[in-house]
Amino acid sequence: MIAAGDNPERLRSEASFAALCSVSPVEQSLGKSRRRRLNRGGDSRANAALHRIVVTRIRQDERTRVYLERRTAEGKGKREVMRCLKRYAAREVYALIHTDMVTFHQRPDDPATLTTAA
């Protein structure tokens, strides 16, 4: 929430929020191997918060543990799986921020502007 700042409307999409949190994928190719890594730009505190979310989910959420095991069995490394989980967590956080933003803009800003029917 802090990463979004006082003006969350600057976050135009889930991808822009992911870039802000340093979890957007960047292609990295060395010779014949092609893979993705996390974007190193952005807010490191937001990235650390997403990391804590993912670590907590790995410890306590059965679905996340199953996902980790499945992706590891597919040949993905733990760092790659963590990258995917951080991106998924960023999607969920963005959805919450976006819902909050929509709800906020639907309410009148100033209660004094409301008129009551007499």
Query: Does a structural domain hold residue 52?
Result: yes
pLDDT at 75: 92
pLDDT tens sequence for the chain (118 residues)? 566 665 566 677 888 788 888 787 777 777 776 666 667 777 788 888 899 999 999 999 999 999 999 999 999 888 889 988 998 998 888 888 877 666 665 655 555 444 544 4
Closest to 20 in 3D by CA, of 31, 32, 7, 11: 11
Residue pair 26/38 in contact by the 8 Å Cβ criterion? yes
pLDDT at 101: 66
Give the range of the structural domain holding residue 33, as residue numbers without chain letter.
Answer: 8-97
Block residue for tokens 């959805």: 95
CA distance 103 to 107: 7
pLDDT at 59: 95
pLDDT at 113: 47
Query: Does a structural domain hold residue 18?
Result: yes
- Structural domains counted in the chain: 1
Q: How far apart are the first and last CA of the chain?
A: 41
Where do the DSSP E strands lie in the chain? 25-30, 33-38
